[in-house]
Amino acid sequence: MIPPVIPAPILRLTTALAAVAIVITITGCQSAPGQPAPTPTPPAGLMNPFFDQDFPDPFILSSGAGYIAYATNGADSNVQTLTSPDMITWTRGDDAMPNLPSWTTAGKVWAPEVAKVGGKYLIYYTTPAPDHSIQCVGVAQADRPLGPFVDHNTKPLVCQSDQGGSIDPSPFKAPDGKRYLYWKNDGNAIGVDTWISVQQLSNDGTHLVGRPKRLFRQTEPWEGKLIEAPFGWEHDGTYYLFYSANDYASADYAVGYATASSPLGPFTKHPEPVLTSDAVASGPGHCALIEKDGNVWMVYHAWPPDEVGSSIPGREPWLSKVTFDGMQVKVAEPQTRPTDRP
C-alpha cells in the first residue's frame, strides 16, 4: 500500500514539535550532581534537505578539514558556503568571493564550482558580462578553499555573446591529468538551442586551450526547451556527463546523463531522466557528485512540493546515493532520511 503523502507544512510542524519534545526530554534527564554527563548520541543519519534555506546550484568539495558546499548568491553573499566535518551536519560559512572583478556587476553570481590545482583553488562561476544583458563564465583564485577568491582577469573566461551568453561552468580532471571545462550556452534567453560544450583547460586551469566543442542539445521530450548544468564524472573507464533540463521553477525539472569513452565525447544520452520529482522534493536538479568512503553521492537542489518557485525556503540542498551498474546509473529518489550515512 502506498503511504499517504503528508503536506510539507504539516510535516515541518510535526518535525518542529518532535524537536521540542526531544529538548524537553533531554532537559528533564540531566545528570545528578556529581554524576558524569551522558555522552551525546551522534546523528543517526543524514536528514534531507541537509540545509533548510535557499542554497541553489550546490557543489561540495572535500578539504583537509572536512567538506565545503558552495552555492549561487544569497544570504548577503556572492558565493554562499556551508562547512561540515562529515557531510551530515552543516554550518553556514562566509562569502567565498566578497569582491567581484571590474568587468561585471553585483547581483548575479551563479553556479560556482571549485577545483584544487597545485597549491591554488580555482572557482568557476557565472556572472553578468561587460554587456549586462548576457551572462558569462569567470574564474577566480584563492590560497584556501573558503577563499576569499579573487578574479584578476580583465574579461570573462567564456562569453558566447552571439549564443545568449555562457553559464553553468563545471571543471573536470580526467584520469590522465588533463583538465576540461564544460558549460552551457544560455540559448533559451534569446530563443535558440542550448548546447553543452567542452574545451580543454590549461594545466593551471586558468585559461582555455584549443577550440570549444559542442556535445549535445535538448532533444528528448522530458527536456523541454533547454538543457543546462553539466557535470562530468569518470567511472571504470566510462565518462558520464550529468545535466539538468526543463524549467527550473517547475516540477518538470530533472537530471539526466549521457555516456562516452572520452571526456570530449561523442556522448550518448540515456533517454530518460535519472532523478525526478517525488512526494518530498520537487524539481530536483543542478547536480554535482562527490565520493566519500567508497560511496558516490549526488548533491542537488529541490523545492518543497507545495512551494515551487518560492523565495522562502527556496531551493534547498539534498543528497542522494549514486550507484553504477555497467554503463547504467541509479540515483536514490529524494527521501528525508537516506538509508546510509555519507
Q: Give 229-256 pLDDT, tens digit per residue.
A: 999 999 999 999 999 999 999 999 999 9
Chain segment 116-140, per-residue pLDDT in tens: 999 999 999 999 999 999 999 999 9
Average pLDDT, the chain: 90
Above 60 in pLDDT, residue 290?
yes
- pLDDT for 12 equals 45
pLDDT in tens, 71-115: 999 999 999 999 999 999 999 999 999 999 999 999 999 999 999
Q: What is the DSSP letter of 48?
A: S
- All residues at 6 or more sequence positions from 147 whose CB lies less than 8 Å from its CB, including other chains: 79, 94, 95, 96, 97, 98, 121, 123
31 pLDDT more than 90: no
CB–CB of 319/87 below 8 Å? yes
Smallest Cα–Cα separation from 169: which of 178, 152, 157, 151?
157
Write down the pLDDT at residue 302. Answer: 98
**Higher pLDDT residue, 216 or 47?**
216
Q: How confident is the model at residue 340 (pLDDT cuts 50, 70, 90)?
A: confident
Domains and CATH numbers, the chain: 55-331 (2.115.10.20)
122 φ/ψ sector (left φ>0, alpha ψ -120 to 50, else beta):
beta
- Is 3 a residue whose pLDDT tops 60? no
Looking at residue 35, what is its pLDDT? 53
| Look-up of cell digits 551525546 | 40
Residue identified by cell 536538479 is: 285
Please answer whether residues 240 and 258 qualify as being in contact, where contact means their C-beta atoms are separated by less than 8 angstroms: yes
Task: Indicate the pLDDT class of residue 28, thresholds 50, 70 and 90.
Answer: very low
Distance, first Cα to last Cα, the chain: 30
CA distance 199 to 221: 28
Could you count the other beta carbons within 10 Å of the beta carbon of residue 20?
Answer: 9
